């Protein structure tokens, strides 16, 4: 059996000199305002995985008011989500991720980000695809007030045989 899930996340830019994307630190003129490390790609991915597994969302499992997750490395949270999904009998078939941002541009980091995500998921690199687009200057994202990410995930049931 296969199950599909989608995820979306957005974070506002704030003070700082880098953003976390797929577990990598990318130098930027701003950071993001967030309780954890504000990694929009991983947050969208986790929500998509939880959605596909019928296991709620990251706000339920990692409440933003919970001090345990203050400044959390989202790769640790992702590994926990992988365990939750596995406990329900599923593994990741593939994920397709889209970053929506005017800045920073990630073309030169794309392969490294995919490698980082695949490592955190403990899957082959070929199961992770990352796309990037801009908002064409439209709206808050277009004014470079923040960054957003979308994720689509397909989970595959692990054979119990």
Contact residues for Mg ion, defined by CB under 5 A: 9, 43
Q: Which is nearer to Mg ion, 72 or 91 (CB)?
A: 72
**CB nearer Mg ion, residue 8 or residue 91:** 8
Angle of helix 74-87 relative to helix 40-53, nearest 10 degrees, comes to: 10
Closer CB to Mg ion, residue 39 or residue 106? Answer: 39
Q: Which of 123, 130, 154 is nearest to 53 (CA)?
A: 154
Give the CB-nearest residue to Mg ion.
Answer: 43
For the bound state, the minimum distance from the C-beta of residue 46 to Mg ion, rounded and expressed in Å, comes to: 9
- Specify the residue, 3 or 43, whose C-beta has the smaller distance to Mg ion: 43
Quote the least distance from Cβ 64 to Mg ion, whole Å: 8
Task: List, in order, residues 6 or more apart from 68 with CB less than 8 Å away.
Answer: none
**Gap between the Cα atoms of 45 and 102, Å rounded:** 20
Nearer to Mg ion, 12 or 131 (CB): 12
Nearest approach, Cβ of residue 97 and Mg ion (Å): 14
Work out how close the CB of 74 gets to Mg ion at its nearest, in angstroms, rounded to a whole number: 8
CA distances from 161 to 40, 78, 158 (A): 37, 27, 9
Q: How far is the CB of 2 from Mg ion (least distance, A)?
A: 26
């Amino acid at each position: 059996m296969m199950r599909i899930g989608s995820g979306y996340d957005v974070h506002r830019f704030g003070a700082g000199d880098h953003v976390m994307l797929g577990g990598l630190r990318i130098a930027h003129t701003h950071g993001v305002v967030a309780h954890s490390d504000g990694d929009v790609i991983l947050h969208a991915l986790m929500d998509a995985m939880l959605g596909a597994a019928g296991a709620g969302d990251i706000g339920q499992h990692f409440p933003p008011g919970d001090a345990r997750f203050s400044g959390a490395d989202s790769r640790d949270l992702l590994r926990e989500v992988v365990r939750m999904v596995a406990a329900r009998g599923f593994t990741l078939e593939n994920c397709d991720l889209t970053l929506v941002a005017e800045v920073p541009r990630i073309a030169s980091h794309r392969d490294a980000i995919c490698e980082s995500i695949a490592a955190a998921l403990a899957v082959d690199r070929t199961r992770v695809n990352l796309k990037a687009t801009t908002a064409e200057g439209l709206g808050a994202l277009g004014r470079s007030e923040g960054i957003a990410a979308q994720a689509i995930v397909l989970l595959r049931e692990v054979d119990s045989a």
